[in-house]
Every structure is written in C-alpha cells, then in structure tokens.
Amino acid sequence: MTVTIKAQGNIAVITIDNPPVNALSAHVRAGLVKAVEQIDADNNIDGAVLTSAGRIFIGGADIKEFGKPSQQPFLPDVIAALENCRVPTVAAINGAALGGGLEVALGCRFRVAGPDAKCGLPEVHLGLIPGAGGTQRLPRLVGAVKAGEMVTSGKPLSADKALAAGVVDAVFADELLENATAFLQDKLAAGDMGVGLSTVTTLPNWDAGQFAKLEAKTKARARGQLSPVKALEAARAAQELSFTDGLKREREIFMECMNSPQRAGLIHAFFAQRQVAKVPGLDMTKTRPIKTVSILGAGTMGVGISLAFLAGGYSVGLFDINQEAQEAGLNRIVKTLQSNLSKGRITAKNMEAQIGRLSTVFDMQDLSNSDLIIEAATENLAVKKSIFRDLDRIAKPGAILATNTSYLDINILARETNRPSDVIGMHFFSPANIMKLLEVVRTDTVSDEVLATVMSLGKTIGKINVLSGVCDGFIGNRILKAYRKQADYMVEDGAEPQDIDRAMKAFGMAMGPFAVSDLAGIDIGYFNRRREDDARPKAERYSRIADLLYEQGRLGQKSGAGYYRYEDGSRTPIIDPVTTEIIAAERARLGITPRTFTDGEIRERILYAMINEGARILDEGIAARALDIDMVYIHGYGFPAYHGGPMFYADTIGTKAVYKKVEEFAKDDPYAWQAAPLLKNLAETGGTFKGS
C-alpha cells in the first residue's frame, strides 16, 4: 500500500510510500483521504503525524499523469480533508516538500522538519502556479511578501530558512518521527489544536511597499514569462480576498497559465532536460573510473572548468606553460571559492576540502597519472595539435583526452594521437563553473566507453550534457553564426544594434546578439572570421562592421567600448555615437539606403535563421534529436525556456509557415536563405521537428 496508517498510542502515523519521490499519484491521494476518514471514525486517536518513507517527503505531482485527465480525488479536496480532520495534524517533513507536497503540508495544522528538508513551490518553472491552495494558504502563514518571493522564484527554502520564515514550526536534527510525535503531544497537553490556514482572515507581515518592489522585480526578472507574474497576482489575491474567493481566483489564474503556450514550452523543456543525456543505443553502465582531472590552460575557461570539477569532488591539477598565468589562475580559483564562502554558497569545511584537492602541475610529464585531461588552450589548431601529440606520449593508457575547443575539428586532433578512441570534445560555456550546458562532441573514432564516461561525468559536476557531432561550431556556435549573420545584414540595411537587441530581449532572450558580442569579446569573432577567410564562398554576403570595430580597438566590455560604450565598473550598455558613425559610413560605402525594420521582422529573421540551421544540423546528424538543439539553446544561449527552444518554437508556429517565410527571404538573399531539406520536407508533409 502506498499510504498506511498506524496508531502509536493516541497518535496516528500516516506514512506515504510511493517511490522514488513519493509523488502525489491518484492512489496516494485516495489513500490520504481514506486515512483521514479512519482517523475521524476512531475516537481513540487525538492527533496525527503525516510523514513519508524514503528521503523525500512529497516530491509534487506525478509526472506520469502530466497531460492526462485528472482523477479523483483532486488534490485541493485531499488538502481540505486534511485541514478539516477531527484531530490536529502535523506534517513531519523529511527531505523535499515541493509543489503539491508543500501544499499538503500547509493543509496540516503544524509542520516540523528534518535537517535536510526543503520547502518550495516550483510550479513557475513549468509555466504554472500552485493550484491546490498554495498561493492562498502560504500567505496566510508567512505573509504575502515572503509567499510571493517563494512562488515567483520557485526556489525551495532549506530547513533553517523555512524555520526562520515561519513555514515550519520546528527543525529536529534527528529522530524526526519521534520528535514530531512528542511535539504534537506537547501541543495537545497545552490545549493547542492549531489553526487551519483557511480560517486565517488577517495575514501577517503585510508591507505594501515591499510587495510593490517585488512586483517590479518579478516583471523584470520574468523577461516575458507569464507564470511568475501570475503567481504573484495570486499571492496578492490572498491579501485582498477571502479564502474562498482567493481559491477561486487561484483556479482562474491556474487555468489561464495551463492554457498558455508558455506552459507547453516549459513542459517540453522539463522533459527534454531529462531525456537529453540518454543517448539512444549507448550503454551508460560501461564507463571508466575518473578521480583525477587535469586542466591545460589557466585562463578564464581553465579556471571555470577547474572550479566545476572541484565542486564535483574531483582532484584537479592545473597546468599552464606560462607560470605567471598559472599563478594568476590559481589565485582566481581560491578567490572564487572565498567569495562563494562569503555568500553562503559553500561552507568553510567544503572550501578547505576543495582547495585541498587542487594542485599545481609544473611539468607536463606529471600529467601521466591523470584519468582525464582537458585541454583549454588558445583556439589555434596548430597549438592544439602539438598539445595532443604531447598528451599521447605522456598520458597513461586509458586516460581520456578532451578538448574544450569551441569550433575546431576534433577529428583532426584525434588523428594526432595513437589513441583516437580516447579523444573527445568537452565544450564548456563561460563561465564554466556556472553555465549548465556541456556540449559533448563525438568524434568519428571515440569509443562508446569514453562517450558514456563523459556523459555520466557531466552529470556529477551539475551539467546538462548534449551530444553533438563534429562540425564547425558544433550545435550551438554553428547556429549562432547563422543568425548572427542575419543580425549583421539587418544593421547594414538600416536597423541599429540596439533595435535588434531590444526586439530579441522582448522575445525573451537573456541578451541581444550585439550585447552578447560585447560580453564575449569582439576579438573572438574577428579571429574566427580570419580563420574562415580562405574558404568563404564568393556568393556569401560579408559584413565588415564588426571588423571595423575590432580595428579601432573596440573589443566590447573588456575595452570599455564595442557596439556599445561601458562606463568603468559597469556592464550596462550605452548607445555610442561612434558606433552609429561607423555603421553609417559603411552603409554609404556600400551604397545602401537604410530602411526601417519592425520588431516582428527582426525576430523572424533571427529566429527563422536559427530554425533553418537547426534543421540542417538534424539533416546532417550533428544533433540526433530536435530536443538536443532546444537544450543547447535554452541552457547555453539564453533562449527563453517558456518558448521551449528554437525547434519546439518552430513547431508551435508550424513548419509550413517557417518554410514559406524562408522562401520569401530567399528572394532577397538566395545564398543565405537556402531552406534545409528537412524543413522543406516537414512543410510539405505537415510534419513537426518533434516527430522527425
């Protein structure tokens, strides 16, 4: 049975046992209602403790039921039954109480927690709001401001923070069930029957000014996402309406979110994130043990990669041929760890452990005991070829040799060794210790064992791994190159960089393409274009504006000016007349009469270039599935998750509509707008990328 009830004297203990996460499946909901009915019928019971088997209290709804008709009893009715139980109830929260799990706990008269408890309402991440009274009961417990922070961010509170906020009444270091029972006995002895939150009429901690600030912050942070704004609207309803009317408003808002296309996009992103690391046909059980990781290159990427592996519990050796650069890299690692400590992200003990696993490698020969060596040197093929020849000679048999290259052909590097089956790409995104995406690049010769090892390894350092084939730029940067060209062409034709950035931010992108260039460094794009000069087709339109900026020393944020100007110590872009003059002069040289672009056309040219190149990548087998591309763009390039990723977004528009627009754009530039065969086929057959 998934829900059991056992009397311990005058206290009934209700236990949920529905592994792996004690989800609120239909049979669990039914079991809870039945348990309350049994307690109500037994006059020997004076109180009840609700807890769960395993390490999680209740992980929320059952994802297997997503998209299926709801079955009775419905969760709001289950919670109402708990709240109206004849005797006082206490939720003994062991582990996570998330979403519906916290809503169930809020239906109890009291809540206590173990030290590992987490309490949160993360529904916003699925494009929804809590739909079983959470937006109405939580404000009646902790106030609308704190409840609003929780429902808009979706971030769970630790046990200590939940106690400080008033979400739980006590935290016990051990013996949670026994302590919860004693807690309830003390309440009974004192005649404290607790209060059902639905009966609270005056909410605590109301501060209109703080709530207004939270509203402004939520709108800015949401970047067009509906659910956080709507969740806060529901929390305000708790402050302004009766519980009954507030529940009705919660249900109205919940259904509004449920019927939004954003909800579909976020649900797709949710499931895609769980599917993306599962490589069809790859046996993930056959892996190599990895304990010692060495990083070649102590620059920004090398430091970030080192921090990621240190946080994952690995021993890390840092090497750089330049001793000053190596020392600077080590100092940056230590300073970052100290900063994490000061911000409460790690404990002093954890920081000491990470520093203890960090070592300096002064001689490449000392890499001979490493299980994994990641090259993060300058993006120069000749340099990297030399490094891999050296690593082939030095590394022990079975060591995995990886490169962090963003663009270069890893098959060439593999051929420089006598162990091509051990060579793989691990393309981290900067800053590597923060960004979630890891493109795992499969060479033509890499073994399944090495591939499975790296895919598994990425999980242990908190990465979302996406498998890519070898091509220039792999999945992410190849698509970036395609849509960035369209942005450049539009600037030559009359749009301003700030127009394009504004339009894409309004779509929900974290940054516009020109602000991204300034952040990454205009020099990076410049050198990549020089690498391509000899092979660039004559039919391809080429924009020089970025080259002109580079030649004037405008490298972006690092130099204080790029497409935008930046004040000292600030990352805020300021429109710069110098850039405007450079663009105007280039238009005049080309004989272009500037025209205006609507935000809609800007978005279509950027997004449809992205989709068309994505379709070409699928055609070529560089990405195995459309969801792989979606995950790269959501987690590596700031594509709004509520649109589901570029390929999911294409399906919402319709492949026929996308193809028709690509053909229309091709009338002006037939070289740039060659429709991918897959896009053409899907448009003609009524297919979708999801089904391809």
Element housing 263 (H / E): helix 261-275
* Degrees to nearest 5, angle at CA 25 with 20 and 26: 155
pLDDT surpassing 80 at residue 64: no
654 phi-psi bin (left φ>0, alpha ψ -120 to 50, beta other): left
Range 378-401 average pLDDT: 96
C-alpha distances in Å from residue 464, one per residue of 377, 404, 407, 454, 682: 23, 16, 20, 12, 29
Segment (H or E) for 325: helix 323-342
Q: How distant is the alpha carbon of residue 56 from its chain centre?
A: 22
Model-level pTM?
A: 0.92
SS3 state at 244: helix
Residue 63 clears pLDDT 80, i.e. is over it: no
Give me the phi and psi of 130, to 5 degrees please.
Answer: -55, 135
Decide: 384 and 416 in contact? Cβ < 8 Å.
no
CA–CA gap between residue 515 and residue 556 (Å, rounded): 8
The Cα–Cα gap between 533 and 531 comes to 6
pLDDT of residue 5: 96
How sure is the predictor about 418, in pLDDT bands with cuts at 50, 70 and 90?
very high
Percent of the chain whose predicted confidence (pLDDT) is above 90: 95
Share of the chain above pLDDT 70, in %: 100
Output the pLDDT for position 61: 84
Among residues 123, 149, 233, 613, the one annotated as catalytic is 123
Q: How far is CA 651 from CA 373, 480, 607, 654, 683, in A?
A: 40, 20, 13, 5, 10
Tens of pLDDT, residue by residue over 289-325, are: 999 999 999 999 999 999 999 999 999 999 999 999 9
Instruction: Please compute the mean of the pLDDT values over residues 136-143 and round it to a whole number.
Output: 98
Give 123's Cβ-side CA count (13 Å radius). Answer: 30
Statement: residue 636 has pLDDT above 90: yes
Query: Please, are residues 659 and 681 in contact by the beta-carbon 8 Å criterion?
Result: no
Arch. (CATH architecture) of 292-470: 3-Layer(aba) Sandwich (3.40)
Closest CA to 605 of 510, 508, 487: 487
Nearest to 364 by CA among 314, 411, 399: 399
Residues in CB range of 79: below 8 A, 6 or more apart = 103, 104, 106, 107, 132, 133
pLDDT confidence tier of residue 125, bands split at 50, 70 and 90? very high
Q: What are phi and psi of 73, to 5 degrees?
A: -75, 145
Residue 612, both tokens: 């068309």
**Closest of 327, 148, 154 to residue 233, by C-alpha:** 148
pLDDT of residue 65: 74
Considering the four listed CATH numbers 1.10.1040.50, 1.10.3470.10, 3.40.50.2300, 2.60.40.740, the one that applies to the domain covering 477-685 is 1.10.1040.50
Q: Is 594 strand, coil or helix?
A: coil
Mean confidence (pLDDT) of the chain: 96
Catalytic residue among 37, 65, 103, 352: 103
The mean-pLDDT minimum among 59-63, 489-493, 646-650 falls in 59-63
Q: Scanning the structure block, which residue is given the tokens 């709240």?
A: 83
Among 49-63, 197-211, 407-421, 461-475, the minimum mean pLDDT is found in 49-63
Is 103 known to be catalytic?
yes
| Contact predicate 121/154, CB 8 Å | yes
- Mean pLDDT on 515-528: 92
The whole-angstrom separation of Cα 481 and Cα 253 is 40
Domain range list for the chain: 3-259, 292-470, 477-685
Please tell me the least confidently modeled range out of 59-68, 408-417, 481-490, 568-577: 59-68
In this structure, what token pair is assigned to residue 373?
């060596």
- Judged against a pLDDT cut of 90, whether residue 667 lies above it is answered with yes
pLDDT tens-digit map of 178-191: 999 999 999 999 99
pLDDT value at position 209?
A: 97
* Whole-angstrom distance, CA of residue 522 vs CA of residue 483: 16
Give the separation between CA 442 and CA 447, rounded to whole angstroms: 9
pLDDT higher than threshold 90 for residue 68 = no
Quick one: pLDDT at residue 70? 78
Angle between helices 646-653 and 655-666 (to 10 degrees): 100
- Say if residues 500 and 606 touch (Cβ distance below 8 Å): yes
Residue 71, pLDDT score: 87
Band (pLDDT 50/70/90 cuts) for residue 485 is: very high
Tokens of 206: 């109301």
DSSP type of residue 690: T
How far apart are the two ends of the chain, measured CA to CA in Å? 41
| Total H helices, total E strands in the chain | 28, 19
Q: Which CATH number fits domain 3-259: 3.90.226.10, 3.30.200.20, 1.10.20.10, 3.40.50.2000?
A: 3.90.226.10
